[in-house]
Amino acid sequence: MRRTELASVMQNWKMAGAAAALCATGAAAGAPQVAARMDLPVQTLDRTPITSPVDHPFRGTIALEVDARDVAHRVFVVRERVPVQRAGAMTLLYPHWEAASHGPSLTVTELAGLTVSANGKPIAWRRDAIEPHAFHLEVPENTKTIDVSFQIIADEDRLSADVVAVAWQHLLLYPAGWYARNIAVAPSVMLPTGLSAFSSLDVADPEEGKLSFRPVSLERLLDAPVLAGRHAARVPLAQDGAGAVTLDLVATKAGDLAVPPERIADLRRMVTQARAVFGPPPFGRYEVLARMSDDGSSGGTEHRASAEIGMASSYFRDWAGQLNNRDIVAHEFVHAWNGLYRVPADLWAPTPNVPQSGSLLWMYEGQTEFWARVLAARAGLRSREETLDKLALDAAEVVNRPGRAWRSLSDDVNYPSFMLRQSVPWRDWQRRKDYYLEGVMLWLDIDALLREQSHGRRGVDDFAQDFFAGASAEHPVRTYTFDDVCAALQRVAPFDWPSFINRWIEGHGEMDPSEGLKRHGWRLTYDAEPTLTFQQNEQELGGADLSYSIGLTVADNGKVRAVNWAGPAFRAGMAPGDHITAVTGAPYTRGALQDAVRNSPANPIALTWQHDGSPVTRTIDYRGGLRYPHLTRVPGHRDGLTALLAAR
């Protein structure tokens, strides 16, 4: 919705005025001849045009100063001095689209206290009538620079006495009319005393209390966050001529910073294995900005020369308990090549206020997640068996996706443009971000097919060496299209790749997404024993995952988290948010429910739950016992998976 509106608004800017544009659109669409009827309403919008970005030089450098010292109020104070290119109308933009979310995830709601002045005299600003991220002003004659100041209302996550996360896309305004790569910015940040700061930006001037960085383009700045912390450590992962890689740890407690040598060795092997796949890196030095906390969050954000990683404070200490999260650093590291150096042409945008489209997210995220699984295995972050268990979990989620019947993967990739921050209670039917795990299955299939077609001589490693070749720290972004992906596959092994990939991404219920596993000599099976990986996944969910038996996921207090669309619990009338209170008459516990499912071949499962405050008691129409996913060898078939997972 947002994207369509923005697109049509941008179209209108190119015309003389909004009213004229609307008339023209109506006439072009063959609207009835109603213009002469004076009693019908006509929309009029009094709008100042917002100049579209143009790839031309911007004179001078924006000085951007972020003061992060007001931790008491969690407010960033921002001051900018912007060189004026010409007097008259000027528009300042607050970023809206965020590269890593692929959607309009930034909000100008955070911005307050905006003032603009020149030579000490205030300049009035006016927010655009339709695009709230745009501020119009009139620059007087003979003005060389304007001064802009405002506050950004942050939260504890970004600004506290011990940890400061400087994400520049939240912290600046920039002039409309130029590509972000043409605008030079000299950024600086003032931090609370005693904090160590890490970033892929080069420090120009380490003054007392202020960290000034060398000027960079706005494009680069938006991709170069700063992480600062009171308890911090630096761990080198690679220091050879191919570009240094460093793990920068920021923790809430100093004791969390100790990383066992085996874990450092694991990460070093991961870096080596990644370089063996992708070749020369697209960065000069790379910073893994790892933030350890007890809030239970785990995840990452990709950049070309750094990654923001959130991990449990026990991440390295409790390695045995991290089976599901061991490849988070690998995933973001792969993005340096897949996503930042090579960017889908429709996902690349000249500024953070131009809408993007994610038609190739099955490549951008899907192949990255595939490589995260593979590199974790090759580096020893997961054993071969642990990797097979993780792939079983991935495959089970992908295979059991009823939503594919109405929504293809090529529609799921539209997720960021309309589903960000929205509630998705029927996840397996509505679908959300399935391009990660379907991408894992798709690229397993492509690897197996490349091997088949080349009589075992070539695979997806050869694709990566071709597709990501030529990287260097200085090399500009290389955009690509669907056809470029197919052409690179064609160079590895001739085949009808467009049809093959289209069958995957456009397909509905007719295809088996585990076919790549089968081509590799493995198939998805179920038995009554969950793998350790599955059990840890359940722990992270905080309850029981019975998706592959009675079709629900339930928290330990009985609250139903998810119900499989058209599954046994669904058919009994259960919905997410219901509260299970009793299992065959006894009070609800996880164990009681699991026992009931285990015994279902002999005894029917009777559940009582609360729905909108009323009790419901039903028998679940299911007699299949407990079912958990595993990978099992296909007898007599060559094991391609073990070959793929072996270290290079």
Positions touching Zn ion (CB under 5 A) are: 365
Q: How far is the CB of 168 from Zn ion (least distance, A)?
A: 20
User: How many Å apart are CA 351 and CA 174, to the nearest integer?
Assistant: 10
Q: Which is closer to Zn ion, CB of 96 or CB of 331?
A: 331
Tokens of 398: 């992908």
Which of 471, 458, 495 lies closest to 274, judged by CA? 471
Tokens of 313: 């404070």
User: How many Å apart are CA 149 and CA 79, to the nearest integer?
Assistant: 4
Taking the alpha carbons at both ends of the chain, their separation in whole angstroms is 46
Transcribe 113-135 into DSSP letters.
EEEEEETTEEE-EEE-SS-TTEE
Which of 245, 365, 252, 360 lies closest to 299, judged by CA? 365
Q: Which is closer to Zn ion, CB of 98 or CB of 365?
A: 365
Q: Which is closer to Zn ion, CB of 308 or CB of 365?
A: 365
Report yes or no: 594 and 612 within 8 Å, Cβ to Cβ: no
Q: How far is the CB of 472 from Zn ion (least distance, A)?
A: 22
Report yes or no: 401 and 409 within 8 Å, Cβ to Cβ: no
Q: Which is closer to Zn ion, CB of 136 or CB of 335?
A: 335
Residue entry with tokens 């594919």: 404
Q: How far is the CB of 358 from Zn ion (least distance, A)?
A: 12
| β pairing state of 299-302 and 306-312 | antiparallel
Q: Which is closer to Zn ion, CB of 365 or CB of 545?
A: 365
Exposure of 594 in the CB half-sphere (CA atoms within 13 A) = 15
Q: How far is the CB of 331 from Zn ion (least distance, A)?
A: 6
**C-alpha distances out from residue 231 to 75, 191, 253, 623, Å:** 22, 14, 6, 54
Q: How far is the CB of 564 from Zn ion (least distance, A)?
A: 26
Chain-centre distance for alpha carbon 86: 38
Q: How far is the CB of 104 from Zn ion (least distance, A)?
A: 18
Tokens of 416: 């960021």
Q: How far is the CB of 436 from Zn ion (least distance, A)?
A: 8
User: How many Å apart are CA 460 and CA 443, to the nearest integer?
Assistant: 8
Spell out a b/e string for 177-201, using b for 16 or more CB atoms within 10 Å of the CB, else e. bbbbbbbbbbbbbbbbeebebbbbb
Q: Which is closer to Zn ion, CB of 339 or CB of 530?
A: 339
Q: How far is the CB of 329 from Zn ion (least distance, A)?
A: 12
Q: Which is closer to Zn ion, CB of 266 or CB of 365?
A: 365
In one letter, which amino acid is 562? A
Q: How far is the CB of 368 from Zn ion (least distance, A)?
A: 5
Q: Which is closer to Zn ion, CB of 101 or CB of 107?
A: 101
Q: How far is the CB of 82 from Zn ion (least distance, A)?
A: 33
| β pairing state of 628-633 and 614-620 | unpaired
Q: Which is closer to Zn ion, CB of 231 or CB of 373?
A: 373
Q: How far is the CB of 419 from Zn ion (least distance, A)?
A: 16
**Can you tell me whether residue 182 is helix, strand or coil?**
helix
Chain-centre distance for alpha carbon 478: 20
Q: Which is closer to Zn ion, CB of 339 or CB of 558?
A: 339
User: How many Å apart are CA 574 and CA 553, to the nearest integer?
Assistant: 11
Report yes or no: 362 and 409 within 8 Å, Cβ to Cβ: yes
Q: Which is closer to Zn ion, CB of 101 or CB of 617?
A: 101
